[in-house]
Amino acid sequence: MSLLELKNISKIYGELKALDNVSLHVDQGEWVAIMGPSGSGKSTMMNIIGCMDKPTKGEVLLDGVDISRESSKALTDIRRDKIGLIFQQFHMVNYLTAVENVMVSQYYHSMPDEKEALEALERVGLRERARHLPSQLSGGEQQRVCVARALINHPELILADEPTGNLDEANENIVLDLFARLHQEGTTLIVVTHDPEVAEAAQRTIVLEHGRIAREVINENFGK
């Protein structure tokens, strides 16, 4: 069953075509990696899928709703209800503790529940660090908090932009293991990455070049 469908989308900034007539289909529960060199349109695609931007042309169907025609307020609601975002720079709120960072996401979604937030931190192995501020956490720990924050509202889609870009190998493996668990639980994952090893962890890899899909690679070894 399709969760996301991009239909001939383009994003044009003046003379520059950041995305040029791209079409993509992502099924529910699928794990897709998006790769490509700098300037290939990865971030633009992530912004459009993440309801942070709109395409100049084309349609973006998320769970059957064309988000390319929605208002800014509606996009905020869709993002809050359906998408969990993870960034390379972590982007934690620096004056809130780990558990409070998770609870902020709950607050804007529905109702803060500290017990549930602590359980989410437990899932990422950070129950003991719940009362620490971001400045007291390592990069890997901060990213794991962000994973907990992204999944706390049970989103249909986890959208991660270079989630392991600032992590060492050990922490990269921890995050990929977490993604694997989420995938097994049925969560749809779209991971934007430069790293071929991270891309290989996904079921399918989309390679972007000059704003177009250059090729698509199915990971034959996925799940083995």
Residues that bind another protein (CB under 8 A): 43, 47, 50, 52-53, 73, 76-77, 79-81, 85, 87, 89, 91-96, 100, 103-105, 107-109, 112, 133, 149
CB of 38 to another protein, least distance (A): 13
Q: Which is nearer to another protein, 72 or 221 (CB)?
A: 72
Which residues is 188 bridged to in the sheet?
Answer: 157
Q: Closest CB to another protein among 50 and 201?
A: 50
Nearer to another protein, 129 or 201 (CB): 129
How far, in Å, CA of 21 to CA of 163, rounded?
27
For residues 97 and 171, which CB has a smaller minimum distance to another protein in the complex? 97
Residue 115 C-alpha from the chain's centroid: 24
CB of 113 to another protein, least distance (A): 10
- Nearer to another protein by Cβ, of 53 and 63: the residue is 53
Rounded Cα distance, 218 and 74, in Å: 34
Q: How far is the CB of 215 from another protein (least distance, A)?
A: 26
19 contacts 34 by C-beta, under 8 angstroms: no
Q: Is 112 helix (H, G, I), strand (E, B) or coil?
A: coil
> Least CB distance from residue 104 to another protein, whole Å?
6
Instruction: Looking at 85-218, list the stretches that DSSP marks H as alpha helix, in order from N- to C-terminal side.
Output: 98-109, 114-123, 139-151, 169-184, 196-200
Rounded to whole angstroms, how far apart are CA atoms 126 and 98?
A: 9
**Shortest distance in whole angstroms from residue 79 CB to another protein:** 6
The rounded distance, in Å, linking the Cα atoms of 56 and 34 is 21
